[in-house]
Each structure stands twice: as structure tokens, then as C-alpha cells.
Chains A and B, each alone.
Chain A
Amino acid sequence: MRWPADTRALRALIRDPMGLMGLILVALFILMAVAAPLLAPYDPLALDVRAKLQSPSLAHWLGTDQLGRDTLSRIIYGARTALTIALTAIALAGSIGILLGLIAGYGPRWLDAALVLIFDALNSLPMMMFALAIITVLGPGTGTLILVVVLVSIPGYARLIRAQTLSLRSADFIVAEQAIGASTPRILMHHLLPNVIGPLCIVLSMDIPVVIMLEAGLSYLNLGVKPPTPSWGNILYDGYTAIRTSSTLVIAAGAPLVLATLGFTFLGEGLRDALDPRFATARPR
């Protein structure tokens, strides 16, 4: 029944040049991540020290790094690393955020106050400092990286869900459910959740580029994904250390980061404009 509306949104998205560009970039990025083994011309970990730091050629379209690994293959597999981490972290943070938000919004007042204080405390930390503190304690690695993203994102998601829950908890249909003796978990999961999850989904999708950026940034500092696993961040670091001898590597490593973040942002903006008529009319024609 929702289909006509959805195709209308999709058509609006494609008509908007920015949205279309975002859609294409994100599609390419996902294709790269999913089909990495088919697309990559070489094994991203295969060393060939005799062919180190080569310029682009027919054999290596984007050249090679210090250990002679094919840059193009590493970038393609890097998309897989970035997407896996971003999706895992966002899904985890989203689920925990929903749960805590529902509890805060529907539970007793004292619990709400305590949770809000914790959210505020987490929110008022400079994100990067907090991330570095956790990495100091737990040591760098993919698991720590995901934990950092989860901890940093939960407060925002939980607050959003809490606000929505608060505005719905005394709505007629919820009161009716309580009156016929529905259990609290049933009310939360079957009646509140479907009504509060929509706005969160938009926020979650717009946070994907933020996580990609954080993963790359921390991996660039050697505090994220551990080498030799290809990550755009540690490819960028390899390029940075070789910047005076060869600029190919650093340019090639930065480009996917720029394109992926631009793509996701354009798509997010386009989707918001297409889905929300208020924004659509506010836009200059």
C-alpha cells in the first residue's frame, strides 16, 4: 500500500541532481564492498617488494604501496572494511539506543532522570578525546573501534527515541492497550516501537559517513583497524609517509574517502528533501 508514495520519493530523489549523484556514488561504494573479490585485480595482501611505490600503469592502475601491494585492490577491499564496521557499529548503537530510549521514555521518572544524566555526560565529552581514552585502555583494534562508535552514538539515538516515546506514552491507543491489560514489553515492542523508529532511521543513515570518517581517521593514526587489513585510513597513512617520494598513493587513498563521504551526504540530503515535504517547499526553486 505504501509503494506509490515510495516510488514518488525515489523519482524526486533521481530528479534532484545532487541526490542522483549521491545515489550513484553510494551504489558504487556498496558494489565495491560486496563484490570486492570479483573486482580487485590482485590479492590486497600480496607482497611484491620489487614493485614498490610504482606509478600508475596498465598492470597497477593506481600504482603500488611501500610493500608492492596493488593500491586499487587495497582500496576496493578497504570499502568492505569501512562498510562492515560502519554497518555493525550503527546497527549495534541503534538497537541499544532504541532500548534505552524506550526505557527512559516509558519507565519510571527516576530511571529517566538517571539515564538522561548519563546521556548528557557522554554527550558533553569531546568525542575524539573520549575515543582516544577508550583506545588507551582497551588497545587499538576493530572491536575497540566499534565500541567507541557505539558509546559515542548511543546518547543521541536514545534521546531521540525518548523524546518520541514521551510524546506518545499518553496517546489514546497506548492508554487503551494498558486498559486491556497488555504487558509492558508488548506495548513497547508492538505499539511504541513502530511509531518511534522512523526518524531514527534517517539519523542512522546520515551517521554512516561519520563512522566511515572516524574509522579512517583512527586507522590513519594507527589506532583503528590494524595493518595489514586494508582500510582507507591506513592506506592514507602509508601514502602520507611516502608523500615526498610518490604522491600517487596518497592521492589515491584520499579520493575514495572524499567520494564516499560526499556520496552519503548528498544521498542523505536528497532523501530528506524527497521524503519531507516541509523541506522540499523550503528549498529555493
Chain B
Amino acid sequence: MLTYAIKRVALAALILFVVMLAMYGMVFLVPGDPASVALGPRATPALKAMLTERMGLDQPVAVQIWRFFANAAQGDLGIDVWSKRPVLDQILEAFPQTLLLGLVALSWALTLGITLGVLAVVYRGTFIDRALGLVSVSFISVPSFVIAIYLLLIFAVWLQWLPAIGAGKAGDIPSQIKALILPSIAVGIGWVGYLARMVRASMLEIMAANHIRTARAFGLPERKVVTRYALRLAIVPTISVIAVGLGSILSSAVFVETVFSRPGIGTLITGAVFKRNYPVVMGTVLVTTAFYLLVITAADLLIAKLDPRVRDALAR
């Protein structure tokens, strides 16, 4: 188990390194130097020289790459050339907002998704099961930003029940909760469908297992069989799905934050992409990738610990 853990963590670190090296390499592959690309038509020689120096582009490539990694390891992701603020500060401000949005979205999606999945199993083969199946597929396939915009139109523009933009006033919790409702629905809705399907599929598989037949043979009520004996096992695979799905949550957060003008990683990086603000883009990608790798590695280790079959396979 320990060897497995060390291997997994080392692999994650290696991947992070490869990714950042590749991204850094890409910047140099592009025709034209980043400074004049970033400045666009406003580029005067003096301005260009200043930006080149400030971005450290006057140094040899190897030195630049070394500096980037050495600084990043110390938590220094460079200075945003436009706002002159440290990149890390901006990321640390934005990240909790995105994390909050993702967690709220995921928690309601988990609650509803698992409930719907169990309902589909309890009523399997009936009209309810088929209707839930259709609803799940529809939820999965419709893009989150279209849902976000339709929600905005209905609840913020027509009915005016909820705010259209922002994350609520600082210190005013009720306004922050109100501002979170629509975005979290938009981010979470696809997950409701996905989780419902997954829980249904893995429950059906488990319901055919021997221990369920034994439980029934002992005369346990069906409710208890479903919730105590089947659901508990069916939840294990959802852990890894949720961890890997974090990437898709980040993606929908980018769109949904833009639609609702919410501060967060999504608005930070899209704003930086427009201005070709390399330090902010690189920093954001580094931090989100590191976080993502951390979560999937942790989930793999957790599953290895929870599921005796995986644990035994590793021990061999």
C-alpha cells in the first residue's frame, strides 16, 4: 500500500512537471515574442523593452524555465504585468469562490442524484424508471452555460427573484447564498443525471449479488436491503467518478462564472486570456492542475483503502 501511495504521488508530480514544461515550451514555439503579442498594436519599442524585462524574457530560455520552477516551488508565481499584483494573491482570492461554487453544486447534485438513482432501482422497469432515465440523459447532455443563461433569463430577468450578477455583498451571508443558487444549479445539474445513472447501474449490479439474496432470504425488508446493503457498496465507485469529474466542474465553473459575472478562477483566467496575460494564465493552470492531480491521487488512495478487492490486488 505504501509503495503504491509513493508511486502514485511521484507520478502526479512527474505529470505536473511535464505539463508545465510543455506549456512553457509552447510559449516559445509561437511566432513573435510574447511581449509584443501581449501589447498588440500599442507596442512601442520602449514599452516592449520594459515588458520584456519585467516578464524576464530577456534571459536565456533555460534560465527562464529554471526560474519559473524554482520560484513556483517557493510559492512565487510571478507578478501580473498588468495589475502589478502577485499572481498567487489573485489566485488565492479567486480559488475559494470557485471551490465554494463547486462544492455546493456537487453536494446538492449528490443528494438528488443518489436519490433519483435509488428511486429508479426501486421502481425498476416501470414508467418512473424510464422517465428518470430520460431526465438523466437530458441533464447530462445539455451544456451548463446554456442552462446558466436560461436560468438567468427566467429567475433574474423575468421573475427577478434572484440576483443576475456577482457573488453577493461581503459579510452579508443571505445575499451570498442567494447569489450562489443559480450558478450552483447550472454547475450541478449535469451531475445529477450522471450520478443517478451511475448509482442505478452499480446498484442493479449489486442487487444481483449473493449477499443481497442472503439478506432477502433472511426476510429483511426490501427498504433495508436497498439502503443498508446495496447503496453502501454502490457509493464506492462514485468517489472516483467525482474526483475525476472535478475537471469538468472546473470547466463548467469557467462558463457559469462568466455568465453570472462571479469572481473566481473562471473569470480570472478568461480575463487573462483576453489580455494574453501569461503569468496569470500559467499560474492559474499550474494551481488548478496541481489541485486536480492532488484530488484524483487522493481518491485513488482512498479507494484502495476502502475497497478490499483493490487493496488485495495491490498487495499481490
By a beta-carbon cutoff of 8 Å, the part of chain A in contact with chain B is: 18, 117-118, 120-121, 124-130, 132-139, 209, 213, 216-217, 220-223, 236, 239-240, 243-244, 247, 250-251, 254, 257-258, 261-262, 264-266, 269, 282, 284-285
A132 — which chain B residues lie within 8 A by C-beta? 254, 269-270, 273, 281, 285
Say yes or no: A247-B273 contact (C-beta < 8 A), given A130-B285, A221-B255.
no
Complex: chain B residue closest to A259, CB-CB: B142
A265 — which chain B residues lie within 8 A by C-beta? 137, 140-141
The number of chain B residues with a CB under 8 A from chain A is 59
Cβ-defined contact, B141 with A209, below 8 A: yes
A264 — which chain B residues lie within 8 A by C-beta? 141
Decide if B248 is an interface residue (CB 8 Å cutoff): yes
Cβ-defined contact, A125 with B149, below 8 A: no
Say yes or no: A127-B251 contact (C-beta < 8 A), given A251-B153, A265-B140, A265-B141.
yes
Cβ-defined contact, B289 with A240, below 8 A: no
| Residue from A117, A133, A216 within 8 A of B285 (CB atoms) | A133
Cβ-defined contact, B18 with A121, below 8 A: yes
Complex: chain B residue closest to A140, CB-CB: B273
B258 — which chain A residues lie within 8 A by C-beta? 221
Cβ-defined contact, B289 with A125, below 8 A: yes
Decide if B239 is an interface residue (CB 8 Å cutoff): no
Cβ-defined contact, A117 with B146, below 8 A: no
A209 — which chain B residues lie within 8 A by C-beta? 141
| Residue from B18, B269, B274 within 8 A of A129 (CB atoms) | B269
Cβ-defined contact, B259 with A117, below 8 A: no
B269 — which chain A residues lie within 8 A by C-beta? 129, 132
Complex: chain B residue closest to A256, CB-CB: B146
B27 — which chain A residues lie within 8 A by C-beta? 137
- Name which of B53-61, B79-87, B122-130 contacts chain A: B122-130
Decide if B311 is an interface residue (CB 8 Å cutoff): no
Q: A121-B19, A262-B141 are in contact. List 9 more A-B contacts (CB 8 A).
A: A117-B18, A118-B18, A121-B22, A124-B289, A132-B281, A133-B285, A135-B273, A236-B146, A265-B140
- The interface bits of chain B over 121-160 (1 if a CB of A lies within 8 angstroms of the residue's CB, else 0) are 0001100011000100110111101100110110001100
Cβ-defined contact, B15 with A124, below 8 A: yes
- The complex places the Cα of A217 from the Cα of B149 at a distance, in Å, of 12
Cβ-defined contact, B142 with A262, below 8 A: yes
Decide if B250 is an interface residue (CB 8 Å cutoff): yes
A269 — which chain B residues lie within 8 A by C-beta? 137
Say yes or no: A257-B152 contact (C-beta < 8 A), given A120-B15, A124-B292, A126-B289.
no
- Counting residue pairs across A and B whose Cβ atoms lie within 8 Å, the total is 134
Q: Is the interface of A mostly helix, strand, loop or mixed?
A: helix
- The complex places the Cα of A220 from the Cα of B296 at a distance, in Å, of 30
- The complex places the Cα of A240 from the Cα of B281 at a distance, in Å, of 25
Shortest Cβ-Cβ A-B pairs, 8 listed? A128-B251, A265-B141, A284-B125, A126-B247, A121-B15, A126-B250, A254-B146, A213-B143
- The interface bits of chain B over 232-261 (1 if a CB of A lies within 8 angstroms of the residue's CB, else 0) are 000000000000001110110011001100
| Residue in B18, B146, B248, B293 with the greatest tally of chain A CB atoms within 10 Å | B146
Cβ-defined contact, A247 with B18, below 8 A: no
Cβ-defined contact, A127 with B248, below 8 A: yes
Cβ-defined contact, A124 with B281, below 8 A: no
A217 — which chain B residues lie within 8 A by C-beta? 143, 145, 255
Complex: chain A residue closest to B15, CB-CB: A121
- The complex places the Cα of A257 from the Cα of B272 at a distance, in Å, of 27
A120 — which chain B residues lie within 8 A by C-beta? 11, 15
Decide if B284 is an interface residue (CB 8 Å cutoff): yes
A237, chain B: closest CB distance, angstroms:
9
Decide if B288 is an interface residue (CB 8 Å cutoff): yes
Cβ-defined contact, A128 with B254, below 8 A: yes
